[in-house]
Amino acid sequence: MVTLKSPREIDTMARAGAIVEATLKLCRRLVKPGISTEDLDREAEAFIRSHRGAKPSFKGLYGFPKSLCISVNEEVVHGIPSHRRILKEGNIVSIDCGVCIDGFHADSAITVPVGEVAPAVTRFLATTERALAAGIEQAVLGNFTGDIGHAIQAVSEAGGYGVIRELVGHGVGTRMHEDPQVPNHGKPKRGERLLEGLTIAIEPMITMGDYKTKLLPDKWTVVTADGSMAAHFEHTVAITKSGPRILTKAA
Ligand code: MG
Ligand code: MG
């Protein structure tokens, strides 16, 4: 069931979104060779909880043990932070963060290079971020989720990259994952109609190779089946009369 949010509820989500954005900025500053993903998680959780009434959305969600999902290189999403996982020069690291405040969630992710990465990888990250921007541009009244997916797919495949199908964006609000699903591929004018007050997480998950994925034995971490690198960028967006409002990015 799709739930539409009032302007006031959207403002609450934007407050959660501002904390998500600040947390990801903090993580971006901390990412360097030698830091563990557990260190990032600890810093992020303390920072989130330093805001009155704010808590990390992911901790305990479906039993997930940590505050951030941190996924390195061929890991696509849902990597579990660990003190054993040390970031190395040339890696890319996807950091996915959710915050809940006053009963409403916001959800955003970035993928950042660790030190110097190959030029092809820099281009790959830029294209995935551009795919997210293209998807957000389609998040307007009267469009459909298929318009968003189609735009993301077009930018990604023009770059020669794979668009993951098994994982999709989603509605977000009083629950972290709500209807509708927001796939990263599709056809214009298909899927769910975008109504005023709909709040969705748009989140391209793109690979440098094939789009097929598999699940690691930890039952959380999703990796590319061919071992190619994966990138993930995400924003929470509200559909409004005046266009898409990004709730996880300062206006
Ligand atoms: Mg997320
Ligand atoms: Mg999400």
Render pLDDT for 31-56 as a digit per residue (tens, 0 to 9). Answer: 999 999 999 999 999 999 999 999 99
209, part of any domain: yes
Q: Is residue 222, in this structure, part of any structural domain at all? A: yes
Give me the mean pLDDT over the 201-212 stretch.
Answer: 98
CB-based contacts of 27, cutoff 8 Å, min separation 6: 40, 43, 44, 68, 95, 97, 110, 112
Structural domain includes residue 143: yes
- CATH code, domain carrying 226: 3.90.230.10
pLDDT score of 132 more than 80: yes
Whether the full predicted model's pTM is greater than 0.75, yes or no, is yes
Å from CA of 165 to ligand 2 middle: 14
Distance (Å, rounded) from C-alpha 79 to C-alpha 19?
21
CA of 33 to the centre of ligand 2 (A): 27
Residue 250 belongs to a domain = no
- pLDDT of 184 strictly over 80: yes
Q: How far does residue 37's CA lie from ligand 1's centre (Å)?
A: 16
The per-residue pLDDT for 251 is 75
Quote the number of domains for the chain.
Answer: 1
Q: Is residue 114 part of a domain?
A: yes
- Looking at the domain assignment, is residue 248 inside a domain? no
Q: From the CA of 98, how far away is ligand 2's center (Å)? A: 8
Rounded Cα gap, residues 193 and 180, in angstroms = 9
Structural domain span for residue 141: 7-243
Helices 119-137 and 145-158: crossing angle in degrees, nearest 10, is: 160
Q: 233: pLDDT confidence band, cut at 50, 70 and 90?
A: very high
Query: Looking at the CA of 170, which ligand is closest?
Result: 2
